[in-house]
Chains A and B, each alone.
Chain A
């Protein structure tokens, strides 16, 4: 048993990632979605709000691949511009929950005691509520709109991250390096944030990916119900809602944004699954 470093012949992280088709597909979809979200103007053939009364409710054609809506606006351009709103939703709808959940979960998992018991009851209380109803209630109180929707989602969603993080920190504390940190005289903050948190965060990151897909779905649902993004802003839920009265005559109005939701959700799910595969087995 000699001690040769075997790092050189281990396949690199990137090479291992590229060997997983699901993960690659997920990265391509999400990568492209991010591009569309940042530079919608580059990809959209028309101004998403340009009204053309000569081309109302036209079926998909070469000049309008996704057809046009009841004001003659180009559906493809509106779906593309909606990426901006919906991808923003995926990030802003989860990031506050992620950060607060991770911090609270790590603290509660490290200190346990009374705080942990109170935390447990809060989690129980939030989780027993039907989620969509709770979010609708919060939005109804604060008023419709994207910002209020983010607040509503964050208020509920942090418990899921916190719960996951707490369990993972407790599991990590079973390893001696946590005790070794205490015995070395490191501060609690150092042990929690430098040693425990990076080791415990992997499952949280994986959950975050699938959560972004869920939040896009939720945001679209709220948009559809008129509680999220407000027309004339292009948002997939809003677009579907606009097309629902014409579903038998202008099916493309609801179908195309629906497909965008499915595709993006699939992308996040593939990414999450792939990352889980890649990160979980560790030695």
Chain B
């Protein structure tokens, strides 16, 4: 499963949007890689830049702002690539699914037409072969009586079923990387587990990398191999899921984990990290998390900590990381 040769390598990715003449630093210095069959989770609060990261990789963000840095996809750089060349990769090699299954399908076209549209754009299958493949895909994502449902419109499907259809459309052309933008946020909990299982199963069967954006640490724990925690447009902690969740080093990761209610007696107050994330047009000089941080020390408000390796495979951007149980604070 782990071949360690990354198919996607993001290196120093910056995305800037402009509003009324002021620059908004949506992403700063994002670097990570995804290997074949690997599931990488991106977690963080709303506005931390998780979705913008996905949209910058696939070429959506550059329509609305400036994207710089490098996104290497199998040796080619996607950031500077012309639209026409990029279209050969979008949907064919890299596919994306969205948060809102209610609006991510065109309400006026049948599900079958939308599936076949992807196949027509990215394969040279004949008409009947496309029909067969569309049926096969619906079947694969677990939609009963697939061949009849091809003729149905999106409004005739429930939310969970629509997300399955979206997955079928995204995977129709056999992409090697799936970008999943909070694929289960809009679904109820039982359906959520089904959809996650489906994505994991398909990733394994098709040997496909998955970049999963979520704000739900439970989802990360269940599904991801590695995780990157984002705050105010930067990655603050990165590493294998088990290590990060067992021994979080960045105070923000600790705060996120404490915010998940677990084994609490009824009616006890819920924990939340004090304060709010900074606005992208007014980021603090030092560490962006310093104003909300309990273990903030003197340099935090003057300098920005860089993301650096602390132990094998673990990276943290913090001057005063949380001590591990072994007590070897860096």
Minimum Cβ distance to chain A for residue B212 (Å)? 16
A3-B144, A3-B161, A182-B60 in contact; A176/B99 too (CB < 8 A)? Answer: yes
Would A183 and B58 count as touching, CB distance under 8 A?
yes
Partner of A185, one of B90, B152, B161: B90
Would B90 and A184 count as touching, CB distance under 8 A?
yes
A176-B99, A177-B106 in contact; A186/B88 too (CB < 8 A)? Answer: no
Please report the total number of A residues contacting B with Cβ < 8 Å: 22
Would B92 and A185 count as touching, CB distance under 8 A?
yes
Would A198 and B152 count as touching, CB distance under 8 A?
no
Minimum Cβ distance to chain A for residue B180 (Å)? 12
Would A7 and B156 count as touching, CB distance under 8 A?
yes
Instruction: Identify which of residues 1-37 in chain A touch chain B, using a CB-to-CB cut-off of 8 Å.
Output: 1, 3, 5-7
Across-interface contacts of A5 in B (CB, < 8 A): 149, 152, 156
CA distance A184 to B117 in the complex (A): 10
Across-interface contacts of A247 in B (CB, < 8 A): none
Q: Answer whether residue A199 sits at the interface, using C-beta atoms and an 8 A cutoff.
A: yes
Q: Which residue of A lies closest to B191 (CB)?
A: A1
Would B157 and A3 count as touching, CB distance under 8 A?
yes
Q: Answer whether residue A115 sits at the interface, using C-beta atoms and an 8 A cutoff.
A: no
Would B89 and A185 count as touching, CB distance under 8 A?
yes
Q: Answer whether residue A130 sits at the interface, using C-beta atoms and an 8 A cutoff.
A: no
Partner of A177, one of B90, B104, B161: B104
Across-interface contacts of A195 in B (CB, < 8 A): 106, 109
CA distance A176 to B55 in the complex (A): 12
Instruction: Identify which of residues 54-92 in chain B touch chain A, using a CB-to-CB cut-off of 8 Å.
Output: 55, 58-60, 63, 86-92
Would B121 and A185 count as touching, CB distance under 8 A?
yes
Interface string of A208-221 (1 = CB under 8 A from B): 00000000000000
A3-B157, A175-B103, A186-B121 in contact; A199/B108 too (CB < 8 A)? Answer: yes
Q: Answer whether residue B96 sits at the interface, using C-beta atoms and an 8 A cutoff.
A: yes
Would A176 and B118 count as touching, CB distance under 8 A?
no
Q: Answer whether residue A283 sits at the interface, using C-beta atoms and an 8 A cutoff.
A: yes
Would A184 and B121 count as touching, CB distance under 8 A?
yes
Partner of B90, one of A7, A175, A182, A199: A182
Across-interface contacts of A1 in B (CB, < 8 A): 158
CA distance A130 to B82 in the complex (A): 46
Would B87 and A199 count as touching, CB distance under 8 A?
no
Would B103 and A198 count as touching, CB distance under 8 A?
no
Interface string of B104-140 (1 = CB under 8 A from A): 1111110000000110011000000000000000000
Q: Answer whether residue A50 sits at the interface, using C-beta atoms and an 8 A cutoff.
A: no
Across-interface contacts of B207 in A (CB, < 8 A): none
Would A177 and B105 count as touching, CB distance under 8 A?
yes
CA distance A175 to B109 in the complex (A): 15
Across-interface contacts of B149 in A (CB, < 8 A): 5
Q: Which residue of B lies closest to A179 (CB)?
A: B60
Q: Answer whether residue B98 sits at the interface, using C-beta atoms and an 8 A cutoff.
A: yes
On chain B, which size bracket covers the interface?
A: 35 or more
Across-interface contacts of B28 in A (CB, < 8 A): none
Q: Answer whether residue A282 sits at the interface, using C-beta atoms and an 8 A cutoff.
A: yes
Q: Answer whether residue A142 sits at the interface, using C-beta atoms and an 8 A cutoff.
A: no
Q: Which residue of B lies closest to A6 (CB)?
A: B156
Q: Which residue of A lies closest to B153 (CB)?
A: A7
Q: Answer whether residue A187 sits at the interface, using C-beta atoms and an 8 A cutoff.
A: yes
Minimum Cβ distance to chain B for residue A12 (Å)? 14
Interface string of A272-283 (1 = CB under 8 A from B): 000000000011
Instruction: Identify which of residues 141-195 in chain A touch chain B, using a CB-to-CB cut-off of 8 Å.
Output: 174-177, 179-180, 182-187, 195
Would A176 and B104 count as touching, CB distance under 8 A?
yes
Minimum Cβ distance to chain A for residue B187 (Å)? 11
CA distance A3 to B95 in the complex (A): 26
Would A185 and B108 count as touching, CB distance under 8 A?
no
Would A3 and B158 count as touching, CB distance under 8 A?
yes
Minimum Cβ distance to chain A for residue B84 (Å)? 9
CA distance A175 to B149 in the complex (A): 23
Would B122 and A185 count as touching, CB distance under 8 A?
yes
Most B CB within 10 A of own CB, among A3, A183, A195: A183
Q: Which residue of A lies closest to B107 (CB)?
A: A199
CA distance A6 to B153 in the complex (A): 11
CA distance A179 to B54 in the complex (A): 12
CA distance A195 to B156 in the complex (A): 19
Q: Answer whether residue B100 sits at the interface, using C-beta atoms and an 8 A cutoff.
A: yes
Across-interface contacts of B292 in A (CB, < 8 A): none
Across-interface contacts of B55 in A (CB, < 8 A): 179
Minimum Cβ distance to chain A for residue B139 (Å)? 15
Partner of B107, one of A7, A186, A282: A282
Would B87 and A187 count as touching, CB distance under 8 A?
yes
Instruction: Identify which of residues 250-283 in chain A touch chain B, using a CB-to-CB cut-off of 8 Å.
Output: 282-283
List 13 interface pairs A-B (beta carbons < 8 Å), by A numbering.
Answer: A3-B161, A175-B100, A176-B99, A176-B104, A179-B98, A183-B60, A184-B170, A185-B86, A185-B90, A185-B91, A195-B106, A199-B108, A282-B107
A-contacting residues of B (Cβ < 8 Å)? 55, 58-60, 63, 86-92, 95-96, 98-100, 103-109, 117-118, 121-122, 144, 149, 152-153, 155-158, 161, 166, 169-170, 179
3 tightest CB-CB pairs across the interface, nearest first?
A185-B90, A176-B104, A184-B91
B-contacting residues of A (Cβ < 8 Å)? 1, 3, 5-7, 174-177, 179-180, 182-187, 195, 198-199, 282-283
Extra contacts, 14 of them, besides A183-B60, A184-B117, A185-B87 (Cβ < 8 A), are A3-B144, A7-B152, A7-B153, A174-B103, A177-B107, A179-B98, A183-B91, A184-B169, A184-B170, A185-B122, A186-B87, A186-B121, A195-B109, A199-B106
